[in-house]
Structure 1
Amino acid sequence: MNRRYFIKLGAFGTMLSTATFGACTRKDKTTPDTDIVVVGGSPAGIMAAIAAARLGATVTLVEYHNHIGGLSSSGLGKSDIENKDAIAGLFKEFTQRIYQYYRDTYGEHSENATKCKQGYYYEPSVAEQVFNQMVAQEKNISLLLNHQIEQVVTQADQVQEVVFTNRAEGTSYALKARVFVDATYEGDLYALAGAAYRLGRESREEFGELHAGKIFFDYNENKFLEGSTGAGDQKIPAYTYRLCLTDDPTNSYVMQEPPPGYDRTNYLKYFDDLKEGRLGGPKVFKEGHGYYQAHFDTMVRVFSFAEIPNRKYDVNTNPRPLGFPFPEENATYLEASWQEREKVFRRHRELAMGLLYFIQNDPEVPQAHRTMAQQYHWPLDEFTDNNHFPWQLYVREARRLKGEYTLTENDVTLRDGAARTTIFKDTIIAGEFPIDSFPASKEPSPDKKVLEGYIGMLPIAPYQIPYRVLVPEKINGLIVPVAASTTHVAYSTLRMEPLWMGIGQAAGTAAYLSVKNNLPIRKVPIPALQKLLLKNNQILTYFEDLDIKDKAAQAAQFWGTKGFFDSYKANLHQPISGRELTRWLTLFNDTRGLEESTFAFDKQETVSLADFIRLLDLLSQSADAPPRSGAAAWQYAKRDSQLPVQRGEVCQALYLRLGKNT
């Protein structure tokens, strides 16, 4: 039976207002087909599905391509993470599985096991294999590949149903659920649902962000250049493809002729870059940033190489030369129809393949540079159903949700002498990557140092991400872990796959709690969500001195979201002062929804174990607090009660005494 559905305009501007789908699979019932539908098989979508499924929810994971894993299985072969202690959870499980694969396949001390760097570096095909294994092991997950989203049915601002088109068959498939997760890079689901979103760059004035708007920025000296205005616009950072190349002749697919759409004029500006020194090395060399010293001051430096296992390389397109051809090629992408998006895919593919062909074959490229470039080719054993070329476009930034809170540059940087970045009571994960945005324009700075919009690896301190950035202003039944509520500048640090995996885990956990407790997504109890995330190894608060195996590690991270700590030092094994304990008790009562604490200690240097135990006895008299279960439950070690109580012990004791309804 054929059915006719109305398509909501706005998300894809050239779609028809109506569309007829053949043989639409749709059950005429009001009950959900599944608890949770995750749209987008990105790493965030995968982890959202796994987190919810492991907790007991039924999940349908839907992906546009024939593959899952997004960029992480489509060329991005190294984990974009600077501080490995800041992100754990399901992302850490992913890296451990990668590491185990290379050890099992090649041996514990093999070259490939070493090159995978404990699972943080990997071949695209291995990443996809691990993602598929993780999904297949969850009996509560159903997977739909090759389905594109077409329609979102809402009623009274509540998402009820999503309609997809099977790209291979042209048929339609509708799914009802209690919660929907938009894990697309583009924010397609929430745009079709009518949620408000941002597109482009905010002005410097809108949120008071130093690096907002139109900007020319010296990435070596970290200073603004002439021509920076801070004006907002609709431009977004350039898209590229993240390539995987090999120098193994036995595993190489060699381009024998120019690729489709090849035009050498796209790359001629690179000759000026070579002559004027913009293809050299960085001022400061940092491991893992894609710096391959042999390529400096050659045409091969149009790419950035990072070595991964099996004689392969994660290859980024270097955004620092003025010849970088990709800015503004994505200008029409987001609001385009699926057919128009395919044209954008094709254009970026032509530019990427053409650039490699150019440096390998153009007679104007110095022979020594061509010879060096001719070492690298498409691997025969990668992307075997796509002519060995990645299938996922690198969408670095797209729509950004207008959520209950907008994360800004000011939240992810240290301001006004503060010793920590912004503390959020509803934190769901710690972030850590530098501010890093590709050029948004082909316009060079007046001094010819950089393209407009490029902010390269600007260091920041670890920060907290609040739950509210995942929740739309008014659309219900929907949570957004990828195209979340941030400014352009803040998004440039959030947009990394390891962090997205963690945010996806938080989104899936919240979706489960929403289903379990029959609560709207925006009403999910934050302490319960945080405790469940901590139980599953999420990092909520980053500390420089925290041993994750410390008895009080989870408690310290939880209280780190409530304001217990004003620096990156937890000092869990140090005594607590009376002043500090009084402040902590006020925050403890605030977390439990009680009036301000009536407990106050003298401003003495330390509080004894005996005094603290007496306090716990008083807290245990509260109707919703469990009785004190003995010193062993929270103490590091039994000792004389007149000795000081330690900060970690206080954290753990108060954490254990959170009421059952908190």
Structure 2
Amino acid sequence: MQKIFLPALVVLTSVIAGHGLAQSLPKPAVDGLRYYYPPERVEPREIETDICVYGGTSGGVVAAIQARRMGKSAVLLSFGKHVGGLTTGGLSHTDGGGADVCGGIAREFYNQIGQRNFKPSAAEDVYKKMLTEAGVEVYYLAHLDKVNRDGTQITSISMEDGLVVKAKQFIDATYEGDLFARAGVSYAVGREANSVYDETYDGIRQPGTGGHNFPTAIDPYVRPGDPSSGLLPRIVADGGVPGEGDKAIQAYCFRMRLVKGEDRLPFPKPNVYDTQQYEVLARLFESGADPRMGWSIDTNNHHLFDGAYFIDFVGGNTDWPEGDWMTREKIFQDHANYQIGVMYFLTHSPRIPDQWRDRFAAFGLPSDEYQDTSGWTHELYIREGRRMLSDYVMTQDNCQGYEVPEDSIGLASYNMDSHHCQMVAVDGAIRNEGNVEIRVSPYPIAYRAITPKASECTNLLVPVALSSSHIAFGSIRMEPVFMILGQSAATAASQAIDDNVSVQNIKYESLAKQLLADGQIIQYEGSSEGPIHPKTLKGIVVDDRDAKLEGEWEESNHIRPFIGRGYRHDQDQAKGKCTATFATKLKSGEYEVRLAYSANSNRASNLPVTIRHAAGEQRVVVNQREKPSIDEIFVSLGKFRFDQQGEVVVSNEGTDGHVIIDAVVFVSVE
């Protein structure tokens, strides 16, 4: 067990600054709801342990349990009054994490509470029981103050209340990467430009594309139709250049537990109630659009107006990742006031039609959950914070199976997913920007992605705010995955102690052997129809991302198989305005030209394709509703002679359905 040292004379010092902070904190949105509790006093004390886990998230809980199971002493430091993060603070079911991709301690946990319709308090009870059984000491209200280093080694970390923890290994299990940032480890915040990692879904998106868009044009101005009156809250005039990077991150919210019945608590009026924050909601109802209400026991942003505008506080979280505790407390209360106000507005405002107000009022907050915080969850959903930058960065290529690391420590399986990052005024209407939902198959996460650069820190592992691009993190960021990575991190930390090496120099073969022995799943054994890599194909491949495009083409990977990262379609719109030219240099000779597409009943049956060859041009009509005859992905357009240049042009002129462009292959005729 860890050693605890107390000075011979323990001095309890009043923290004058702490009292001042407490007095300057914003008033809670509802009674008891707070993110940051400044220490009332400093009690100097020191703990020595093998492994220190900072961050009471689900990943932190599992890491601490695994450290003890590996025979190491361990402490868990939680910033708030609870352990379990979002799993015990909002979720009632988990996305992803099925038994075919999630094993180990995470599977033990889910076998006890289930993965759907569990109570957050029950989940926390199970976590606490597992922590107690493992012999983990838990310290609450542990607010990081200082990180002490000797070269590339962290020697100890200090909390604001006087607690100092010395350890051989440290694990940063916070959602925001607070420990590694204070330790001087490199990190990123926001969205990278697509060009940084050669991605297509990372940077700024075209406003109004992706899912969860406004069902009708909603005026963005304070006085409708009058730009001089200014924009409504959190709506911006300029969303940036699509494909470029920015500091925006996907929106946060509180995952609400809503209940029906006589014992429900009515939605309270928050401390700060600004009806202008709900003007967009009022205008949506007044537009006559279908609210598409889908409230349930675990209500998320898409459960009203299909997620166009509801509980995500879009644009209100930009300063959270790098904010100090006071900054975050203010942002926390802004989110709480807004979202609690949403529910109060929907059930009390005369601008909401009577029939809908009555339906909303049938719901309320639970009387048997979150009793210290007025029935409202204590946990803000931090969908994204800092992301470490190590020698290996998980990217879109990993998510789509284009690149497969050899040092897997667990699997992720959720979509590449981002909630809205901005609301942008475009041509007198609000358009959402940032939403991405791209299907993936289960894929491995690299050990190197949770390991800092050796030049920066050699006894720290980061299983939550790991090294990844914005869009890759959007897939990885599921609670079961954090639990998986927490167990793997603690296993690696224990091996580093046993072998007296840095975390970068443990033997991966030994790590993988231990993970498998402990029930982890590090390779996917199920059926997975992943992308077809162009390098595996016979011939010269021109992918859709290398084609010259004119008009609006929408990216997708919904229907498989496909070449590369996905395919594009014309959205069955703007007929005659969309073309794709697939061109490449060739050695003079005869080639069979093949067109790749995924068939479906909504495709065009009369797609015009023009092949430009040595003797001129030839037009071929392709029925994309029929399954391609070559390997179920290609159709032959014929054999042609080319003289140093091959060119195929696909057009949507006159087509009677969605036009699909995936790839063109030129296969030399022997």
What is the TM-score when the length of structure 2 is the normalising length?
0.66
Matching residue of 2:664: none
Matched, 1:490 2:472: yes
1:335 is displaced (CA, Å) by 2.4
- Cα separation, 2, equivalents of 1:87 and 1:448: 43
Matching residue of 2:152: 157
Matching residue of 2:512: 530
Counterpart amino acid of residue 487 in structure 1: S
Q: Is the 8 A contact 1:430 1:541 kept in 2?
A: yes
Q: Is the 8 A contact 2:250 2:434 kept in 1?
A: yes
Q: Is the 8 A contact 1:422 1:463 kept in 2?
A: no
Matching residue of 2:79: 64
Matching residue of 2:133: 137
Greater fraction of residues in helix: 1
The Cα offsets for residues 77-129 of structure 1, whole Å up to 9 and x where unpaired, read as: 11111754122221111111114xxxxxxxxxxxxxxxxxxx44311111111
- Cα separation, 1, equivalents of 2:409 and 2:428: 43
265, 270, 280: which one pairs with 1:253? 265
Change (3 A) 1:145 1:475: same
1:461 is displaced (CA, Å) by 1.8
Counterpart amino acid of residue 242 in structure 1: R
Q: Is the 8 A contact 2:87 2:479 kept in 1?
A: yes
267, 273, 276: which one pairs with 2:278? 267
- Cα separation, 2, equivalents of 1:278 and 1:212: 31
Counterpart amino acid of residue 423 in structure 1: V
Q: Is the 8 A contact 1:444 1:452 kept in 2?
A: no
- Cα separation, 2, equivalents of 1:329 and 1:2: 41
Matching residue of 2:174: 184
Matched, 1:125 2:125: no
Describe how 1:70-469 pairs up with structure 2 within 5 A: 70-81=85-96, 83-99=98-114, 119-139=115-135, 141-165=136-160, 171-216=161-206, 218-219=209-210, 229-250=242-263, 252-255=264-267, 258-274=269-285, 296=292, 301=293, 305-306=295-296, 313-318=297-302, 320-322=307-309, 326-414=313-401, 421-443=402-424, 450-455=431-436, 457-469=437-449
1:49 is displaced (CA, Å) by 0.8
Secondary structure of the residue aligned to 1:489 is: helix
Change (3 A) 1:187 1:352: same
Q: Is the 8 A contact 1:266 1:325 kept in 2?
A: no
Matching residue of 1:619: none
- Cα separation, 2, equivalents of 1:81 and 1:342: 30
- Cα separation, 1, equivalents of 2:339 and 2:164: 36
Secondary structure of the residue aligned to 2:147 is: strand
1:543 is displaced (CA, Å) by 2.2
465, 478, 482: which one pairs with 2:460? 478
- Cα separation, 1, equivalents of 2:201 and 2:290: 25
Secondary structure of the residue aligned to 2:168 is: strand
1:369 is displaced (CA, Å) by 0.6
Secondary structure of the residue aligned to 1:214 is: coil
- Cα separation, 2, equivalents of 1:57 and 1:44: 17
Counterpart amino acid of residue 191 in structure 2: R
1:273 is displaced (CA, Å) by 3.3
Change (3 A) 1:512 1:339: same
Secondary structure of the residue aligned to 2:195 is: helix
Describe how 1:616-635 pairs up with structure 2 within 5 A: none
Q: Is the 8 A contact 2:97 2:481 kept in 1?
A: no
Q: Is the 8 A contact 1:51 1:505 kept in 2?
A: yes
Matching residue of 2:69: 54
Change (3 A) 1:325 1:98: closer
The number of aligned residues is 467
Matching residue of 2:20: none
1:199 is displaced (CA, Å) by 0.8
Q: Is the 8 A contact 1:278 1:320 kept in 2?
A: no
Rg: which structure is higher? 2
- Cα separation, 2, equivalents of 1:124 and 1:176: 32
- Cα separation, 2, equivalents of 1:444 and 1:405: 37
- Cα separation, 2, equivalents of 1:401 and 1:138: 29
Secondary structure of the residue aligned to 2:185 is: coil
Question: How large is the RMSD of aligned CA atoms in angstroms?
Answer: 2.8
1:338 is displaced (CA, Å) by 1.1
Secondary structure of the residue aligned to 1:68 is: coil
Change (3 A) 1:400 1:366: same
Q: Is the 8 A contact 1:403 1:485 kept in 2?
A: yes
- Cα separation, 2, equivalents of 1:523 and 1:26: 33
- Cα separation, 2, equivalents of 1:187 and 1:532: 26
The Cα offsets for residues 448-487 of structure 1, whole Å up to 9 and x where unpaired, read as: 68511111x3211221110001011121210000001000
- Cα separation, 1, equivalents of 2:146 and 2:80: 18
Q: Unmatched 5+ residue regions in structure 1?
A: 5-18, 100-118, 166-170, 281-295, 307-312, 415-420, 547-565, 567-662
- Cα separation, 2, equivalents of 1:214 and 1:447: 20
Change (3 A) 1:161 1:539: same
Secondary structure of the residue aligned to 1:253 is: coil
1:23 is displaced (CA, Å) by 4.8
The Cα offsets for residues 593-650 of structure 1, whole Å up to 9 and x where unpaired, read as: xxxxxxxxxxxxxxxxxxxxxxxxxxxxxxxxxxxxxxxxxxxxxxxxxxxxxxxxxx
Q: Is the 8 A contact 1:204 1:210 kept in 2?
A: yes
Q: Is the 8 A contact 1:412 1:463 kept in 2?
A: yes
- Cα separation, 2, equivalents of 1:499 and 1:193: 24
The Cα offsets for residues 179-217 of structure 1, whole Å up to 9 and x where unpaired, read as: 000000110001111111001110011111101211036
Change (3 A) 1:82 1:520: closer
The Cα offsets for residues 423-448 of structure 1, whole Å up to 9 and x where unpaired, read as: 21111011100011111112256696
Matching residue of 2:661: none
Q: Unmatched 5+ residue regions in structure 2?
A: 1-9, 14-37, 214-238, 529-535, 537-670
Change (3 A) 1:91 1:519: same
Greater fraction of residues in strand: 2
Counterpart amino acid of residue 219 in structure 1: G
Change (3 A) 1:446 1:545: same
- Percent identity of the aligned residues? 30
Matched, 1:503 2:494: no
Counterpart amino acid of residue 58 in structure 1: S
Secondary structure of the residue aligned to 1:343 is: helix
Counterpart amino acid of residue 336 in structure 1: G
Matching residue of 1:25: 44
51, 65, 71: which one pairs with 1:36? 51
- Cα separation, 1, equivalents of 2:492 and 2:212: 42
Change (3 A) 1:82 1:446: farther
- Cα separation, 2, equivalents of 1:219 and 1:130: 38
- Cα separation, 1, equivalents of 2:427 and 2:241: 10
- Cα separation, 1, equivalents of 2:66 and 2:387: 24
- Cα separation, 2, equivalents of 1:351 and 1:363: 18
What is the TM-score when the length of structure 1 is the normalising length?
0.67
Q: Is the 8 A contact 1:330 1:344 kept in 2?
A: yes
